Amino acid sequence: ERGGNNSFTHEALTLKYKLDNQFELVFVVGFQKILTLTYVDKLIDDVHKEFRDKYRNEFQQKGTLGLLNGTFDFKDDFMRLLRDAEESSKVRAPTVMKTFEQSLKSQKTVKCMIETRGEKPKEKVKNKKNKGSKKEGVEAVAAPSKASAGDKQPSAAGEKEELTKDEILQKNREEFFKRHMKAGEKSRSPKPEAQKEKGKKPRVWDLGNSNAKVLDYSNSATNGSAEACPVEEFDPDIALGDRNREPGRLYDLEYESDDEAEEEKVIQNPSKPSMKKGGLGGMFGMLKGLVGSKSLTREDMDPVLEKMKDHLIAKNVAAEIAVQLCESVAKKLEGKVMGTFTTVTSTVKQALQEALVQILQPQRRVDVLRDVMDAQRHRRPYVVTFCGVNGVGKSTNLAKISFWLIENGFSVLIAACDTFRAGAVEQLRTHTRRLNALHPPESHGGRTMVQLYEKGYGKDAAGIAMEAISYARNQGFDVVLVDTAGRMQDNAPLMTALAKLIAVNAPDLVLFVGEALVGNEAVDQLVKFNKALADHSMAQTPRLIDGIVLTKFDTIDDKVGAAISMTYITSKPIVFVGTGQTYCDLRSLNAKAVVAALMKA
């Protein structure tokens, strides 16, 4: 699924590879990453052609067992190809600088370098001629009349040569600019005596208060206590949504594809005739476009891949990633021998679907419940940090994840590290009250299942997170969820602060919260977040994003391309999917459901 990138880096080594789908061969060349070898691509192409042509007949005749028992003597051929590639890429001798006699300047005469007053150089005249012909024609017609009217000093017939059109134009332009310069000097207003002071001044509102302490309603003396979040009475049906759900279970995303719906219709109406036309016409129509046991070429696939690429972009997949996906599918299928009753479109579509499923199922799976239980055995809290841009739903989905953890029997401490956004602490306090109302201490043996740790606004977020983790360890909390302020990926100071928070507190899981509405922006956000975390980290192996929370999934219908873009660019799994406004609207990613929605016409 990543065949478009034909190189792979592992520690100090770089591997470049090439696929031969016809004979199912992979050619790999490895070299030190520090070396810049310009002949690697040529070498791997030459080895591929030479090896394939030398043993083509054996591949076709002997079969699998014959190939396993046979020997391939290719060492001498390889050494010859390597020498040829090295020779072809040897650094050429530096070019010798030209002497003065060889340069264009030496060919010019002294006469052509002298400029007389009122006369224009030839090169400049040529440049003027290249300008818009329409404008020049209008000016050229108007210029002689102006020149004749304003000619106060007529010259004798033999004293001077007649002025050319270009010289007349230049003269008129100079007079025009002189007149306008004089008019501009007259109309220019005098400079203001008092200059404005540099720098911004804070706006003072009529009914506002300039004192930030008066506006801070958070109470730092009540951190970690159950009394700080009194039980709130409200309708639990509104907060929970589905009352028939299984408590603590994270349901998969559901999506019914068109293929399933069509299959159901066919089963319901089996008596319908399959071909409306005559026997031969229907048969020929069915066989139209089939590939008859031949190997696929790039020319066969290009029209289909172009349509697939446009389809992916229309479904919100980032344009760059759509191109790479189609390139990967082309490399995977090129040269592959097709069956008799197979169309190019169906083959390409099937390969693309398989690639998309593989992308959405990364190698490392994040199992939060298992990791929390492992942290419990070591008698320490499991720490999760949420980060992302502004307005994607970090606090809301943090509350949903808190509810899910509580239903699985884990106590949660929420660390309010968004000390910038107005109302951020109050929002988390409201969620804490509601979660305590849904899971009161009486239902859990007198144990408060969720608490809020906050220090108000304008404080250092990394320091608050550190204090919250220490408090959770002392009080026996199972999980610490760290809420951070939203920040744009281009804001260097805020990205540095986030990198500091992660480096200092070393959370077990760093989740990037992104919304499903974005397209190309998803790639930019994730790349720059990861780059900032790597650049501003002090450690040798910097801590990057571990997983993704995809929010607002209920707003996009079948335009689910952001899921592909995010997982492709980071190779990290989508751990949670937010699908609504209630605490139960949290799902795990179902790769096949997402791909079915993506491939829907």
Strand pairing report for 509-515 and 382-387: parallel
Longest CA–CA separation in the chain, Å: 119
Domain 368-591 CATH superfamily: P-loop containing nucleotide triphosphate hydrolases (3.40.50.300)
Task: For residue 477, give the H/E element and its range.
Answer: none
Nearest CA among 418, 414, 566 for reference residue 486 = 418
Tokens representing 83 are 């020498």
Nearest CA among 44, 68, 49 for reference residue 58 = 68
pLDDT the model gives residue 7: 77
Please give the Cα distance from 563 to 361 (Å, whole number): 11
- The answer on pLDDT for 63 being more than 60 is yes
pLDDT the model gives residue 197: 56
pLDDT digits (tens, 9 = 90+) for 245-286: 677 777 777 765 555 444 444 334 444 444 444 444 444 444
Mean per-residue pLDDT of the chain: 77
Mean pLDDT comparison of 5-9, 90-94, 294-298, 463-467, highest-scoring range: 463-467
Nearest CA among 549, 564, 557, 468 for reference residue 515 = 549
User: Higher-confidence residue: 104 or 344?
Assistant: 344
Please give the Cα distance from 240 to 400 (Å, whole number): 10
Tokens representing 243 are 């009352």
pLDDT digits (tens, 9 = 90+) for 317-374: 988 899 999 998 988 888 887 776 778 888 888 889 988 988 888 777 788 999 999 9
**CATH number assigned to the domain covering 7-90:** 3.30.450.60
Range 80-101 average pLDDT: 76
Range 145-155 average pLDDT: 44
pLDDT digits (tens, 9 = 90+) for 378-413: 999 999 999 999 999 999 999 999 999 999 999 999
Range 302-328 average pLDDT: 91
What is the chain's alpha carbon radius of gyration, rounded to the nearest angstrom?
36
Nearest CA among 187, 133, 152, 215 for reference residue 425 = 215
The residues, any chain, with a CB within 8 Å of residue 351's CB and separated by 6 or more, are: 329, 332, 333
- The answer on pLDDT for 83 being more than 90 is no
Range 12-35 average pLDDT: 84
pLDDT digits (tens, 9 = 90+) for 506-531: 999 999 999 988 878 888 888 888 88
| Residues 528 and 490 sit within 8 Å (Cβ to Cβ) | yes
Strand pairing report for 547-551 and 509-515: parallel
- Dihedral sign, Cα of residue 297, residue 300, residue 304, residue 305: positive
pLDDT digits (tens, 9 = 90+) for 480-503: 999 999 988 888 888 888 988 998
pLDDT the model gives residue 265: 41
Q: Is 129 left (phi over 0), alpha (psi -120 to 50) or beta?
A: alpha
**Collapsed DSSP state (helix, strand, coil) of residue 48:** helix
pLDDT digits (tens, 9 = 90+) for 560-584: 888 999 998 888 899 999 988 888 8
Number of Cβ within 10 Å of residue 436's Cβ equals 21
Please give the Cα distance from 360 to 363 (Å, whole number): 10
Phi first, then psi, for residue 154 (nearest 5°) are: -70, 140
Please give the Cα distance from 228 to 362 (Å, whole number): 42
User: Higher-confidence residue: 287 or 464?
Assistant: 464
Q: Is 423 left (phi over 0), alpha (psi -120 to 50) or beta?
A: left
Please give the Cα distance from 77 to 89 (Å, whole number): 19
